[in-house]
Amino acid sequence: MLLYTSQRLVLSVVIVMVAVSILTLMLHVVPGDPAVMILGPRATPELIEQTREAMGLDKPLPVQIVTFFGNILRGDLGQDVFTGREVSQIVFEQLPYTLILISVSILWAAVLGIALGCYSALRRNTWLDTLTGVLSVGTISIPAFVMALYSVLVFAVWLQWLPAIGAGEGFWDGATHLILPSFAIGVSWVGYVSRIVRASMLEVMGQPHVRMARAYGLPDGWITRSHILKIAVQPAVTLIGTGVAHLFSAAVFVEVIFARPGIGALIVQAVNERNYPIVLGAVLVTTGIIVLATLISDLVIAWLDPRQREDM
Amino acid sequence: MVSSVATEPDRQTEGGAEPLVRIDGLSVDFATPRGAIHALRDITLDVPKGKVLGLVGESGCGKSTLAYSLIGLLAENARIAGGRIDMDGQNLAHLRPREWRALRGRRISMIFQDPMTSLNPVTTIGQQMMDIQYREKGGRAEKRARAIEFLEQVQLPDAASKLDAYPHQLSGGMRQRVCIAMALLTRPDLLIADEPTTALDATLEMQIVTLLRELQEKFGCSVLFVSHHLGTVAELCDEVAVMYAGEVVERGDVAQVFRDPCHPYTQALFECDPARIREATRRLPTIPGTLPDLRRPPAGCAFRARCPKAFERCKTEHPPLYDAGGGQAARCHLNDPAEDRA
Amino acid sequence: MTDATQEAVSEPGVLSRTWRVLSASPTGLIGFVLVALIVGSAIFAPWIVPYDPAAIMTGPRMAPPSAEHWLGTDNIGRDTFSRVIAGGRIAMLVAAASLAAALSIGLLLGLIAGLGPRWLDNILLLIFDALRSFPTIVFGLAVVTIIGPSLFTVMLVVAITSVPIYARIVRTQTMALKNAEFILAERAMGVGTPRLLFVHVLPNVLGPLLILASMDVPLVIATEAGLSFLGMGVRPPTPSWGVILNDGYNFIRNSPWPVIGGSIPIILVTLGFTFMGEALRDIFDPKLRKAG
């Protein structure tokens, strides 16, 4: 188990490093002076020279990559081209907003999705099962940013029930400001999760060990929890674990549409300013979190299912 | 109907001991999109107290369906279309789910065909063995001790350490031993074993059968042993019922039926049993033909189409179970005293 | 000879399966109809649009739907319906071009990974995993910073992020086939690798790939619309669904119609291609059901 975890950890780090290398390489593959490209049309010759030196762009490529990774390992993501502030500081200032947003979104979606999926599997062909099925297809078909636009339209513009702008201040205000954004991100996940849980529940319900549990007169609720759900929830865990990348993508739109602070809004702003160090830093941190999430979901599955511990 | 009652042999098998379970005229249908399958038709059979009843037949003959209807675990599309299953004055044919739950894992327990998939893969053996004692009083330590005791009963080496193992860490034979230990742990009156050795290799099969025999004698429970392997039935069972196309075609004392089978199907089964073939032959004999369509069971004898001895009467008249003496009975007109035996 | 007989045998099977799948669930048929409508309107867009999509003040500003303007008008009086149809052309162009690129590159890399030496396979797998760990939109934004926003950028982003998925499938299939008995037998008879590839691997891999690609169309279109919505994809005044939505979002408190009009085609495309993909999968490759 320990060996497996450390192997996965090493592999994860390698994946993040490869991912970052790809982005750094892209900067150099494109014809033209990277410093000019980073700074865009506003660049003065002095600024270009300064940037080139600050980012080590005047050194050979392998040296750059090595120093770059060295810096990352020391927690140094470079400096903002314009203000000179530490990129890591800027990114970690914004990160909590995004993490709270996507955690709240996936949490309510997973809880509701698992509950609906369970219900649908246990009570097949009831009206709630049919409704869940239809709504799942419907919500899955709507991209997060379209869902966000409709949330604004319906709940903030027409009904005026909920605030749609900013992150709010204090706990309660913050919570009410989270409702619409987390709805927009989470609603399609309710569909994904309920569909996959329903399908895998139905599969597990047909397995001999469930019949065996029934043959011993164990109560139905008990069988559902420890004999069916514990196995049937695994695909949902994997889905969510690998879906964190999609959550970040959705967060970009939701933060822009609801004018919330966060890492997505930061990236969009940095792209508009062509502030490459911030973009790169933010992408690096995001990718790191995504790889970590996949790792965590694998560990959760290993914890749920002893068979996986040895296969891995 | 009247005539069939008249020819119906004395229900009570040997010595007049009251049976544990009386199955009387049981019929089970499976609903399918293309019409109902009459999987069990008019089954009348006793499970004797403290003895082993074997249930043999080809796959698809309904022997597993019969076993599952005795523990209320029929598939969702199954329906008991008629008849009764009496056990201590209770009719099991029409129990509510709650009433079934009270019986299962207490008076009736079951061992399944495939030990590889019958145990919960994500829970330790020990936990599963303690779970099934959930109705018992007593603390964890007590239940754990009982679990170890029964694992020792089934001769599982190093029983205490197996409690912390997960099913996938044990071999198939070990898992089936665990399943047997679990089934006996609940001290059932009736133990149903649905082809418990089919998934195991021959050596293991013999070990498990011997173990079952020993434990049955020790605990004195009744066993319904479902198998398509005649050798194990001969080894283990006191009585046997042969099933064909959803009917019991012959039943009686094992030694007697094996020595002198009265139904042509039983005879054919023995001829096809590789263990019983005496002459050297190039190919394994099989019974020609296939099972009848159970959506529309034939009007006469179900085995007529494949029977080498079929005659005119078999086409039109459905044979009742004729008494063949000594508790043996067969569903074949050749056993009708009125018929001149060819 | 064997190919011909196989085809003759499988043809009625496919037809009857098509009939069975489509008659069992109406969603498959809906999918085919929607896709036909969308692709048709994209091809014939210039002849369908009632107004020039770029023409301003074709009617009142931010008008609700009417007989003249089926989906209303936007803040500078452009006809939303015409812009939606023209935007569909862009969306389909992006989808077709980028998926074609992703399929060919994915096929090539997958074959290399599947047939090549183990170290190369490992390196490629690592790169695939790395590319997949980027969120599409975040990766897209990073690329935009480097090469600037344009239609080409969108296609590049989609192609790069889709390649790993296809490559992995091709790799798995190739590896499975590599050790299949009939391949080993042909190898023993001296049939060369290129011939084996074209005769056995490609036909086996292409079908599932195309079905998956058709199910990926909604994803591509959402990416294009999303990047364009952020102003990082197709640039105004080119009409794109994302651009229409962005214009609508800016005036959402004045009129809901541009947002509604711009979002309907995205939802229809998603439903259409998803339903069609599921039906195709059931017809041609029931095994994919499990894998997918």
Cα separation, B100 vs B68, whole angstroms: 12
**Position A35 confidence tier, pLDDT thresholds 50, 70, 90:** low
CA separation (Å) from A12 to A70, A156, A292, C138? 17, 41, 7, 19
Give the neighbours of chain A: at least 3 Cβ pairs within 8 Å.
B, C
Helix/strand/coil for C195: helix
Res. A147: pLDDT tops 80: yes
Cα separation, C273 vs B328, whole angstroms: 67
pLDDT value of residue A105: 95
Cα separation, A227 vs A220, whole angstroms: 10
Cβ atoms within 10 Å of A256's Cβ, excluding its own: 22
Pick from A107-111, B261-265, C203-207: least confident: C203-207
Cα separation, C197 vs C221, whole angstroms: 32
Write a three-state SS string for A182-204: HHHHHHHHHHHHHHHHHHHHHHH
Cβ–Cβ below 8 Å for B117 and A209: yes
> Which residue in the block uniquely carries the two structure tokens 């086996």?
C204
Cβ atoms within 10 Å of A52's Cβ, excluding its own: 18
Cβ–Cβ below 8 Å for C146 and A287: no
Provide mean pLDDT across the span C47-51: 79
Pick from A83-97, B79-93, B211-225, C65-79: least confident: C65-79
**CB of B155 closer than 8 Å to CB of B204:** no
Res. A122: pLDDT tops 50: yes
Chain B interface residues (partner A, CB cutoff 8 A): 71, 73, 100-106, 109-110, 112-114, 117-123, 131-132, 134-135, 166, 168, 179, 182, 186
Across the interface, of C231, C259, C274, the residue whose CB is closest to A153 is: C259
Pick from B10-14, B224-228, C6-10: least confident: C6-10
Cβ–Cβ below 8 Å for C263 and A264: no
Across the interface, of A215, A219, A227, the residue whose CB is closest to B120 is: A227
CB–CB contacts below 8 A, A to C: 135
End-to-end Cα separation, chain A, in angstroms: 9
Cβ neighbours of B185 in A, within 8 Å: none
pLDDT in tens, A150-180: 888 888 888 888 777 777 777 888 888 888 9
Cβ–Cβ below 8 Å for A248 and C138: yes
Provide mean pLDDT across the span B53-73: 90
pLDDT value of residue A312: 46
Cβ–Cβ below 8 Å for A310 and B168: yes
Cβ–Cβ below 8 Å for B122 and A307: yes
pLDDT in tens, A47-70: 777 777 766 666 777 777 777 777
pLDDT value of residue A310: 65
pLDDT value of residue C12: 52
> Which residue in the block uniquely carries the two structure tokens 């033209």?
A32
What value does the mean pLDDT of chain A take? 84
pLDDT value of residue C292: 33
**Position B270 confidence tier, pLDDT thresholds 50, 70, 90:** confident
pLDDT value of residue A103: 95
Res. C1: pLDDT tops 70: no
Cβ–Cβ below 8 Å for C133 and A245: yes
Across the interface, of B100, B119, B122, the residue whose CB is closest to A230 is: B122
Antiparallel, parallel or unpaired: β B239-244 and B247-253: antiparallel
> Which residue in the block uniquely carries the two structure tokens 């514990």?
A230
Cβ neighbours of A98 in C, within 8 Å: none
Question: Is the CB of residue C274 less than 8 Å away from at least one CB of chain A?
Answer: yes
Cβ–Cβ below 8 Å for C267 and A19: no
Res. B298: pLDDT tops 80: yes
pLDDT in tens, B121-139: 999 999 999 999 988 888 8
Res. C129: pLDDT tops 80: yes
Provide mean pLDDT across the span C120-142: 86
**What's the gap in Å between the CA of C154 and the closest CA on chain A?**
15
CA separation (Å) from C16 to B188, C273, C279? 53, 22, 13
Cβ neighbours of A280 in C, within 8 Å: 142
Q: For residue C256, what are its two tokens? A: 């809901």
DSSP B84-148: EEEETTEEGGG--HHHHHHHBTTTEEEE-S-HHHHS-TTS-HHHHHHHTTTTS-S-HHHHHHHHH
pLDDT value of residue A31: 62
pLDDT value of residue C209: 85
The residue of chain A with its CA nearest to that of B114 is A208
Interface test with B, best of A210, A214, A216, A309 (most B CBs within 10 A): A216
Cβ–Cβ below 8 Å for B122 and A219: no
Chain A interface residues (partner B, CB cutoff 8 A): 207-209, 211-219, 222, 226-227, 230-231, 304-307, 310
Across the interface, of C130, C136, C142, the residue whose CB is closest to A279 is: C142
pLDDT value of residue C6: 39
pLDDT value of residue A141: 82
**What's the gap in Å between the CA of C197 and the closest CA on chain A?**
30
pLDDT value of residue A2: 64
pLDDT in tens, B164-185: 999 999 988 899 899 999 999 9
Give the neighbours of chain B: at least 3 Cβ pairs within 8 Å.
A
**What's the gap in Å between the CA of A307 and the closest CA on chain B?**
7
pLDDT in tens, C83-127: 888 888 888 999 999 999 999 999 999 888 888 888 898 888 888
Antiparallel, parallel or unpaired: β B78-87 and B21-32: antiparallel
Check the CA dihedral C280-C283-C287-C289 and report its sign: positive
Cβ neighbours of B110 in A, within 8 Å: 212, 215
Cβ–Cβ below 8 Å for B168 and A226: no
Cβ–Cβ below 8 Å for A276 and C146: yes
The residue of chain C with its CA nearest to that of A292 is C133
Stronger pLDDT, B341 or A92, i.e. the higher one: A92
Cα separation, B336 vs B319, whole angstroms: 9
Residues 6+ apart with CB under 8 A from A268: A252, A255, A256, C141, C230, C232
The residue of chain A with its CA nearest to that of C292 is A196
Cβ atoms within 10 Å of A170's Cβ, excluding its own: 7
The residue of chain A with its CA nearest to that of C224 is A143
**Position A100 confidence tier, pLDDT thresholds 50, 70, 90:** very high
One-letter amino acid for residue A285 of the chain: V
pLDDT in tens, B75-120: 888 989 988 999 988 899 888 888 998 899 889 999 988 888 899 9
Beta bridge partners of B323: B329
CA separation (Å) from A30 to A17, A37, A274? 20, 9, 15
Which range of A51-60, A230-239, B277-286, C110-119 scores highest in mean pLDDT? It is: A230-239
Pick from A5-19, B269-283, C55-69: least confident: B269-283
Interface test with A, best of C84, C137, C224 (most A CBs within 10 A): C137
Across the interface, of C230, C253, C274, the residue whose CB is closest to A157 is: C253
Res. B3: pLDDT tops 70: no
List strand residue ranges (DSSP E) for chain B, in order.
Answer: 21-32, 35-47, 52-56, 78-87, 90-91, 108-111, 190-194, 222-226, 239-244, 247-253, 322-325, 328-330
Cβ–Cβ below 8 Å for A143 and C270: yes
Which range of A19-28, B17-26, B195-204 scores highest in mean pLDDT? It is: B17-26
**What's the gap in Å between the CA of A77 and the closest CA on chain B?**
43
Cα separation, B88 vs B222, whole angstroms: 14
Beta bridge partners of B35: B32
pLDDT value of residue B7: 43
**What's the gap in Å between the CA of A212 and the closest CA on chain B?**
6
Cβ–Cβ below 8 Å for A209 and B118: yes
Stronger pLDDT, B279 or C288, i.e. the higher one: B279
Pick from A83-87, A284-288, B302-306, C23-27: least confident: C23-27
Residues 6+ apart with CB under 8 A from B247: B40, B41, B42, B43, B62, B302, B331
**Position B290 confidence tier, pLDDT thresholds 50, 70, 90:** confident
Pick from A158-162, B244-248, C263-267: least confident: A158-162
Cβ atoms within 10 Å of C50's Cβ, excluding its own: 13
The residue of chain B with its CA nearest to that of A228 is B120
Chains B and A physically touch (3 or more Cβ atom pairs below 8 Å): yes
Residues 6+ apart with CB under 8 A from C6: none
The residue of chain B with its CA nearest to that of A219 is B101
Burial bucket for residue C186 (CB in 10 Å: 0-12, 13-18, 19+): middle
Provide mean pLDDT across the span C165-173: 87
